[in-house]
Structure 1
Amino acid sequence: MSVKSDRFAFVSLLAIALTLCANPVQAQFPQPDADGDYRRVNHHHWEVVDPDPNGLNCRMPDGCTYDDIMGYNCPRFTGNYLDYPIRGTLQVGQRFRGFFSNVGGTFRDNRGLPWVFVGENYDGNTRGCFVRANSNFVKPISLAVPSNLKQDTALPMTITFVEEMAGITVPDDNTTRSAYGGDLRLYDVHIAKMFEVTHYFCQRQRLGHLWWMYRAGGGSINMGRFQITCAQANTIANRFGLGKTETTTIRYSAEEGYRRVETFEIPILNLYGPNIPRWLDFTETFSPN
């Protein structure tokens, strides 16, 4: 490469770096395509920018919920989003939490255009419906989470996969004691790990669900068998959000013993602050089968 080419490459890289430094928000947030559409965007927090005084229409098939759609139990969910009834409207400036599709990111209608599901409205009552994921209507925003509120220290446990069955074995005899000195119990963190691992593999393999055998006391205490569907895992990941990754070791075994051991970087649920009582409420109702 010539000196002139080297100089041109250096100047180009410097310009890119200066642009990113001067526009940190653009570097941080997902960007729309040339048509203003946000396609396959794994981003939770949004703000309405549609200036229409009547508000931004939020649509949903009658008689269906998000869980119905994720579990393929909503026959009216056909991809004709514009034909869905208007459940309500969102006004400019309202912020909401978007839920992902089963394959991650925004949803697509039968024209191939993206929509985002309004799972939680921070500034209004309209939620549980779809709005267009286009820069004319919404924009991605940041809702910072105080790092000192996170409960994300890894706990000792052994995770195994035996064909269609997953297992989690923990050394603790008493899983009701506090995990971090607060309200979260060891039990709550163990259940969270089951959902995190299930969600991770549902995003990467053709799974419908995972069965989990949960044992405490190093394996001597049977805590029950739990079924977690991919739809359930996706719903939980959306409702609580996923934070940093945690190194997770999984032992793959068969009748003759362990065949291999693999390590994965699996995102963990954001169990902090106001999410803690919500998670405690959930684990109280999540029972073994």
Structure 2
Amino acid sequence: MQKKLATITLSLTCAFLGLGANLALAIPTPNQQGDYPSPVQKQRGARHVNWQVVDSDPKGLNCRMSRQFQGVSVDGSDVPAEFYIRNKYNISQWSVVFAFKRGQRLQAVTGNMDNHITLTDQQGKPWIAVYTSKGHCFVRANSNFIKPI
């Protein structure tokens, strides 16, 4: 009985350590420019949901959405295909629909395959969709503005 209990304990410990390693790998790390790159391939679970604002701007971190797409649920099936065209938009010029304060927590919007929803702007910079009380909008996915938590 004691040997069986030791085996179960060892199995659970190994499973826990393996899970811990997977969680550590899931935390996004920025590239040399500070950007949190969009997943190259849309793989199930290629996401990180919880973020925190680190932007030092006293006005807060701007969350932007195109007037054309305001009111559209970016994780819905009714999103126009043109919305996801890479490098098409100058997102930094979109309307500011919300501003997050430093230290505020953000929740990334995920799609039906558990991938976080990102866009890449005309300069190749990644933007991540987040929830607000006013709907979805995009913040720069850069370590100067947000960090994973």
State the TM bucket, normalised to the shorter chain.
0.5 to 0.7
Which residue is equivalent to 1:44? 49
Deviations 1:147-196 (CA, angstroms, capped at 9, x unpaired)? xxxxxxxxxxxxxxxxxxxxxxxxxxxxxxxxxxxxxxxxxxxxxxxxxx
CA contact (8 A) 2:74 2:136 kept: no
- Summarize the alignment of residues 184-223 of structure 1 with structure 2, pairs less than 5 Å apart: none
Larger proportion of strand: 1
Task: Tell me by how many angstroms 1:107 deviates.
Answer: 2.1
Which residue is equivalent to 1:59? 64
For structure 2, the 5+ residue unaligned runs are 1-22, 40-46
Task: Tell me by how many angstroms 1:100 deviates.
Answer: 3.6
Root mean square deviation of aligned Cα: 3.0
TM-score (norm 1): 0.34
TM-score (norm 2): 0.62
Rg larger for = 1
Which residue is equivalent to 1:115? 127
Which residue is equivalent to 2:29? 31
Higher RCO (CA < 8 A, seq sep 6+): 2
Which residue is equivalent to 1:181? none
Task: Tell me by how many angstroms 1:83 deviates.
Answer: 1.9
- Summarize the alignment of residues 94-243 of structure 1 with structure 2, pairs less than 5 Å apart: 94-100=104-110, 106-120=118-132, 125=133, 128-141=136-149
CA contact (8 A) 1:46 1:138 kept: yes
Deviations 1:120-163 (CA, angstroms, capped at 9, x unpaired)? 5xxxx46521110000000001xxxxxxxxxxxxxxxxxxxxxx
Letter in 2 for 1:47: Q
Which runs of structure 1 show a deviation greater than 3 angstroms over 4 or more consecutive aligned residues?
Answer: 25-28, 67-72, 74-78, 100-105
In structure 2, the CA distance between the partners of 1:96 and 1:116, relative to structure 1 (3 Å rule), is same
CA contact (8 A) 1:32 1:38 kept: yes
For structure 1, the 5+ residue unaligned runs are 1-24, 142-289
Deviations 1:14-44 (CA, angstroms, capped at 9, x unpaired)? xxxxxxxxxxx97662110000000125111
Matched residues in 1 for 2:103 and 2:96: separation?
Answer: 20
Structure 1 vs Structure 2: percent identity of aligned residues? 37
In structure 2, the CA distance between the partners of 1:127 and 1:94, relative to structure 1 (3 Å rule), is farther
Aligned length: 113
